[in-house]
Structure 1
Amino acid sequence: MKIGFIGTGVMGSRMAQRLLVHGFQVAVHNRTFQKVHPLIENGAIYEETVSALSNQCEIICTCLSMPQDVMTVYMGNEGIINTAKPGTICVDFTSVGADTSKNIYGMAGAKEISYLDCPVSGGPEGAENGTLTIMAGGKEMAFHKVKPVLDVLGETVEYMGNSGSGSIAKLINQYLVAVHSLAASEAMVTGAAYGLESEQLLKVLKASYGDSKILRRHMEQYILPRHFTPGGAVKYVHKDIRLANQLLKEAGLRQFTGQMAEKAFQTAAEKELSEQDMSAVIKILEEETGIVVKKKD
């Protein structure tokens, strides 16, 4: 079985590497050649174009940055849908809106190509260790055919339902990520403003109902050490919370906490924090209050 992998950035490179380690034949393509070079050294086959990769692989995986990238790779003149063989199964790990997934699913189906929206959660460490959560939407038969591949990449692999279901589940997860990020930032800045020592406050919160993975991740790995090299960048969370908020509006909600989170991440992006880790959203609150959350001197 030959697997194609398009998009070898922070997440995709680690996922492709796991497939190589587990004995799969993998062809790779990325807009920036430097990002595929380590994979080639480990046995991957490099293809210069999407079309060259698409017409020779039984399974095509994509892990891209933005919805428009997904649309181009799948629906462009030389994209996957126009160049892959009938019977090919496409697995998109990108976080996009359900409408994008459904549109690609319909166009792929017309060419007898299966398309699964399979966004992931777990960050670079999850991709590297094969402990991702994978949420799949599309035809169940196609899901079961590629599940042995997904099991190499993820610890929790769930079929969520029809096309778009995986994307919806991921956006709900990202809604909580964004809201928790803002709430944790507000809490820690407020604590510091009232003279509480941040490490001690974190210790108390971790032992209390206020605990969360986001609180621990942001504080321990990024905020306290003041190290904001991204695991998941501000720009991606801003994109996801915007898409997630649209889901809530369509569900009939009018006022919800995600609206505040979207505004906060938009402000962070406007203040040139887009490329920093999502935890850097705390910086807009620190600037507003003049308080910096950090380790005790």
Structure 2
Amino acid sequence: MKASNGNHGLEWEENRMMIGFVGTGVMGSRMVKKLLDHGYQVTVYNRTKEKVKALVEYGAFIAESISSLAYSSDIICTCLSMPEDVVEVYLGTSGLIENARSGAIFIDFTTVGSETSKAIFDQAIEKGIAYLDSPVSGGPEGVENGTLTIMVGGEMQAFEKIQPILNVLGETIEYLGPSGSGSIAKLLNQYLVAVHSLAASEAMVTGAAFGLDSEQLYKILKVSYGDSRILRRHMEQYVFDRHFQPGGAVKYVHKDVRLANKLIQEAGMNQFTGQLAEQAFGHAIEEGLQELDMSAVIQPLEEKCGVIVKKTRLL
């Protein structure tokens, strides 16, 4: 893309588009590298400058501020931690909406509530800017393998323009409808992640408390109807080896299930399993486990029952 003459609008030339990327943590940094590998020009910004040094060495440009990145970019991606970060980056006086050019497209990969997505969408539209809520599922390995699931809400025309970029990052790209639709779908996914994490932990701890061999129980469960991707992920990659480095941190799953529970209530339900999951992840945070992988939600249950779910022999 290039700037048009006259009013700082944008004319689309796909082979010349400039991508700005705000938020280069575990997921964002991998997304930037993927885009660079496919020949895109990417300018990065992160509040912690150390986090962009490796990306600059890899070929990215660096922006000194969000406002300068916004003005110089045709497509602006964000991958942030919390909803309040999204609000600040997009709606602040030095933020993206205030400083981006008419015709730009925002792609927000952050998991936020649908209300946040809709509020940003409404303000962006007033400035002639498109905003797509585009949260992802699949974790760091999904970025590296190009197998992310990306759930998109917003204007169809904008989605069609940036779909080639999403195809670089993901394998399953779904346009779900109006603004907020992508965020709703992602929160429902996270609801299941949280509930399955708690249920798998409860089952494995209970088995250990009654003297069952944890690996043998797992071997049975993973070939039975009780199997789940979360059960396999947690046991094989984290719990059995007692290795709890994230992954997806406890604090983020707690945030996500809290937002998802609001949706469940708005749908008309008053009692539901997500409430227990929110409590369990909240308790894990109180126990100081917030930075550990979500599978660490098992640790308070182990402590309560006086057992440890661990490897006893090779699977």
TM-score range, shorter chain: over 0.9
Q: Which residue of 2 aligns with 1:67?
A: 83
| Counterparts of residues 174-185 of structure 1 (less than 5 Å) | 174-185=190-201
- In structure 1, the partner of 2:48 is 32
Instruction: Give the equivalent residue in structure 1 for 2:275.
Output: 259
- 2:228 aligns to what? 212
Kindly provide the amino acid, as one letter, of the partner of residue 76 in structure 1.
G
Q: Distance in 2 between matches of 1:141 and 1:44?
A: 28
Shift in Å at residue 246 of structure 1?
A: 0.2
List structure 1 segments (4+ residues) > 4 angstroms apart after TM superposition. none
Residues 1:54 and 2:70 aligned together: yes
AA at the equivalent of 1:185: S
Indicate the SS of the match to 1:36.
helix
| 3-state DSSP of counterpart to 2:47 | coil
Q: 2:201 corresponds to which letter in structure 1?
A: S
Please state if 1:159 is matched with 2:158: no
Bigger CA radius of gyration = 2
Aligned to 1:88: 104
Q: Does 1:133 align with 2:133?
A: no
- Code of the residue aligned with 2:143 in structure 1: it is A
Identical counterparts, % of pairs: 67
Of residues 37, 41, 44, the one that matches 1:21 is 37
CA offset at residue 200 of structure 1? 1.2
Aligned-residue Cα RMSD (Å) equals 0.6
User: In structure 1, how many angstroms separate the alpha carbons of the residues matched to 2:155 and 2:75?
Assistant: 15
> 1:7-59: per-residue Cα shift (whole Å, max 9, x none)?
00000000111000000000000011111111101110000110010001110
Deviations 1:113-171 (A, max 9, x none): 00000000001100111110000000000000000000000000000100000000000
Matched, 1:120 2:120: no
* Aligned with residue 44 of structure 1, among 40, 50, 60: 60
After superposition, the C-alpha distances for 1:186-215 in whole angstroms (9 at most, x for unaligned) are 000011111111111111111111110000
Distance 1:128 1:270 in 2: 33
Structure 1 segment 94-113 matched on structure 2, within 5 A: 94-113=110-129
Letter in 2 for 1:211: D
1: CA distance, partners of 2:64 / 2:251: 28
The 2-side partners of 1:197 and 1:61 are apart by: 47
Pick from 139, 161, 180 the counterpart of residue 145 of structure 1: 161
Matched, 1:12 2:12: no
SS at the partner of 1:127? helix
Aligned-partner SS, 2:72: coil
Equivalent residue, structure 2, for 1:280: 296
Partner of 1:194: 210
Measured after TM superposition, the shift of residue 296 of structure 1 is 1.1
Structure 1: segments with no counterpart, 5+ residues: none
Q: Separation in 1 of the partners of 2:280 and 2:42?
A: 40
| Distance in 2, Cα, partners of 1:127 & 1:77 | 32
Whether 1:223 aligns to 2:239 is yes
- One-letter identity of the residue aligned with 2:68: A
- The one-letter amino acid paired with 2:46 is N
Structure 2: segments with no counterpart, 5+ residues: 1-16
- TM-score between the two structures when normalised by the length of structure 1: 0.99
CA distance in 1, matches of 2:242, 2:23: 29
Partner Cα distance (2:296, 2:276) in 1:
16
